[in-house]
Amino acid sequence: MQWGQIKILFILSFLVLDLFLLQQFLSKQSEDELGQISTVAEDIETALENNDITIAEDAIPEVTEVAGLKSKEGGFSEDILSQIEEIDDSEQQVEVENDRVLKVTLDEPVEVNEDNIINKVNSIVPFGAQYSYWGWNEEEGTALFFQIANDRTVYFNEGGYLLVNIADGEITGYVATLLNFSDTEEDTAVSSPEQIIAPLSAINTLYTAGYIEEGDEVTSMSVGYHSSFNLVPGEENGPQVFAPTWKVTVNDEKNLFLYAISGTFIESDETGFIEDLIGKYDVIQGEVESDTIEENETSETN
């Protein structure tokens, strides 16, 4: 065998050996990282158990990466507006402001209860499937829905809500806004999906900050979206950016939020949010009623 061929064999042999050693190194490094992650998760789980914090079965979803989200300029699309125009005027009084705020008053209130509210709302709101049910606030006489984007809920944003008015167990009307998103997830994503904080780490962050107390039970968790900026509907607004957000429900009654990438806690106030919406709605209604009265007085004078 010629010396040149022997050298090539040696080079190839060392190359194969180097690749094998590199694979072993990377595999060992990956195992070490997984081991560290597993150890941290076990440590957090032990700490939570020691402080009598329990997690309900199936409370933790299997999600590790979520992309940020962006909306286009807010407002009802032509398709939605055409659905609104098809509403029977004899059954509902409809007003749309700047294609952004829809106000509907039912001529015949619709009976409703907690068990059938979603079906009842979907029967009177032609685009109701674009919202998820948040809850019934009996003190304020409203049921609140939040818009859905990419199969996730957009929490507490004035550009994407459905506020249903309920009096004496009957739906009397509703106010709605709708954020405008592209049809595909790729077009709405701000960036590629990013690694989010692990569920146990999110729970531990809330516990360390005092939002979860000893003896509490985490009954459910989910990832939605939230924006630190809340643009007022009815004005010429540009796009908004929404960050992945952990929603952590404690004892089936308290909802806590934190950004799923940075871990920053988000203050939320359901009653305050609803009261703000009602205040703006009442002002708008007052202007409408005032205009209607003036028109009636003018017609009577003539």
Find the mean pLDDT for residues 219-227: 95
Instruction: For the chain, give the percent of residues with pLDDT over 70.
Output: 72
Per-residue model confidence (pLDDT) at position 76: 79
pLDDT at 297 over 60: no
Per-residue model confidence (pLDDT) at position 32: 46
The mean pLDDT value of the chain amounts to: 80
pLDDT band at 291, cuts 50/70/90? very low
Find the mean pLDDT for residues 284-291: 39
Per-residue model confidence (pLDDT) at position 34: 44
Per-residue model confidence (pLDDT) at position 33: 46
pLDDT band at 295, cuts 50/70/90? very low
Where do the structural domains in the chain lie, given as residue ranges?
50-69+184-268, 75-179
Helix/strand/coil for 212: coil
Instruction: For the chain, give the percent of residues with pLDDT over 90.
Output: 46
pLDDT band at 91, cuts 50/70/90? confident
Whole-number Cα distances in Å, 122 to 86, 114, 179, 190, 210: 15, 14, 18, 31, 39
Q: CA 75 to CA 63: how far, in whole Å?
A: 31
pLDDT band at 101, cuts 50/70/90? confident
Find the mean pLDDT for residues 213-232: 89
Q: CA 92 to CA 110: how far, in whole Å?
A: 12
Q: Count the neighbouring beta carbons within 10 Å of the beta carbon of residue 243.
A: 21
Q: What's the alpha-carbon Rg for the chain, to the nearest Å?
A: 27
User: CA 81, 84, 86 angle in degrees (round to 5)?
Assistant: 115
pLDDT at 94 over 90: no
The amino acid occupying position 83 is Q
Q: CA 174 to CA 148: how far, in whole Å?
A: 18
pLDDT at 66 over 70: yes
pLDDT at 1 over 70: no
Domain 75-179: which topology? TATA-Binding Protein (3.30.310)
pLDDT at 17 over 80: no
Per-residue model confidence (pLDDT) at position 157: 93
Q: CA 83 to CA 85: how far, in whole Å?
A: 5
Taking the model in full, what pTM does it have? 0.77
Find the mean pLDDT for residues 125-131: 93
Q: Please provide the CATH number assigned to the domain covering 50-69+184-268.
A: 2.40.128.690
Average the pLDDT over each of 50-64, 77-91, 101-115, 200-214 and give the range with the smallest value: 77-91
pLDDT in tens, 231-270: 666 555 667 889 999 999 999 999 999 999 999 999 999 9
Per-residue model confidence (pLDDT) at position 187: 58
pLDDT at 135 over 90: yes
